[in-house]
C-alpha cells in the first residue's frame, strides 16, 4: 500500500487536541469554571462525511461530555449550536447525554438549529436563541433507494416518535403542536415542515428565551449558584 494513502494514526495528545478543537475551554478569572462545547456544521454519525464538510463528530463529543461530567472542577456546561442537522441516531445520542448531566447546562442557538439540531437545542436545562437564528422542524427522512418499504416506514415512525417525545419532554411545546409544525405543507418548497426564527421558536415554547451569549452565560452562572445553595442546604440538613 502506498504510504500516502495510509490512514493517519493520532496519538493520545493529538486526540486530546482534536477534542479540544470542538470548543472545550476554561477561562481564567471567570465567575465560575464552565466548559463550552460547540456543535456546528453537520452531525457525523456512523459514516464519515467528505472532508469538505464542516462536521461535529459524535465519537469526539461523547467522551468530551463524559469528561465534563466526571470532572469535579467543572461547574457547568454551555452548548453553542449552529448546525444543519445530520445523523439522527448520533444527534439524539448526544442530546440524551446532555439532558442526563448532573451539572447545570445551558444551550444557545446561533445561526441555525435545524433538523436533529432541534432536540440538541432543547437538551440543556435552559435554552436560548439569538433573534437572527432559525430552526427547521421536519419529519425523519432518508436519501436514496429504500428496501423493505413497510418495515422502513415503521422504523422511521418509531424514530420520529422518539424525537417528538424527547423534544416535548425537554421544552414547553406540546406533542400535537410539534407534529403540526413538522407536517406543515405550505412552508417549505418541495418538502414538509416549518422554519422558525428566534422569536417564533420562543413563542411556540420550543426554546426558553430570546437572548445573546451574555444572557446564556449569566443564566448558567445563576443555575450553578442555585445548585450550590441547594447542595449546601442538603449538607446542613444531613448534619442536623
Closest of 213, 127, 132 to residue 173, by C-alpha: 127
Distance separating alpha carbons of residues 94 and 122, to the nearest angstrom: 12
- Show which residues are catalytic: 115, 138
Angle at 230 between CA 228 and CA 234, to 5 degrees: 115
Q: How far, in Å, are 44, 58, 184, 196, 205 from residue 114 at the CA level?
A: 14, 17, 15, 10, 16
Distance separating alpha carbons of residues 71 and 78, to the nearest angstrom: 15
Closest of 147, 142, 150, 85 to residue 118, by C-alpha: 85
Instruction: Let me know: does 193 contact 140? Beta carbons within 8 Å.
Output: no
What stretches of the chain adopt beta strand conformation (E)?
A: 34-44, 55-57, 76-86, 105-113, 126-129, 134-137, 194-197, 209-210
How many CB atoms within 10 Å of residue 123? 26
Amino acid at each position: 500500500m502506498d504510504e500516502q494513502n495510509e490512514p493517519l494514526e493520532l496519538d493520545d495528545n493529538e486526540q486530546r487536541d482534536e477534542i479540544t478543537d470542538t470548543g472545550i475551554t476554561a477561562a481564567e478569572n471567570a465567575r465560575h469554571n464552565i466548559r463550552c462545547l460547540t456543535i456546528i456544521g453537520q452531525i457525523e454519525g456512523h459514516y464519515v462525511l467528505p472532508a469538505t464538510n464542516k462536521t461535529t463528530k459524535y465519537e469526539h463529543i461523547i467522551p468530551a461530555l463524559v469528561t465534563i461530567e466526571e470532572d469535579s472542577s467543572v461547574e457547568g456546561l454551555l452548548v453553542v449550536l449552529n448546525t444543519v442537522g445530520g445523523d439522527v441516531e448520533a444527534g439524539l445520542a448526544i442530546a440524551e447525554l446532555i439532558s442526563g448531566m448532573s451539572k447545570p447546562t445551558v444551550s444557545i442557538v446561533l445561526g441555525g438549529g435545524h433538523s436533529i439540531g432541534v432536540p440538541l437545542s432543547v437538551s440543556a436545562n435552559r435554552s436560548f436563541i439569538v433573534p437572527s437564528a432559525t430552526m427547521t422542524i421536519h419529519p425523519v427522512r432518508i436519501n436514496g433507494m429504500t428496501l423493505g418499504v413497510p418495515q422502513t416506514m415503521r422504523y422511521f415512525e418509531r424514530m420520529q416518535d422518539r424525537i417528538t417525545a424527547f423534544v416535548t419532554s425537554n421544552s414547553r411545546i406540546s406533542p400535537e403542536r410539534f407534529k403540526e409544525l413538522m407536517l406543515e405543507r405550505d412552508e417549505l418548497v418541495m418538502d414538509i415542515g416549518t422554519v422558525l426564527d428566534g422569536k417564533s421558536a420562543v413563542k411556540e415554547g420550543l426554546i426558553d428565551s430570546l437572548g445573546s451569549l451574555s444572557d446564556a452565560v449569566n443564566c448558567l452562572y445563576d443555575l450553578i449558584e442555585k445548585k450550590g445553595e441547594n447542595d449546601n442546604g442538603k449538607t446542613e440538613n444531613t448534619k442536623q
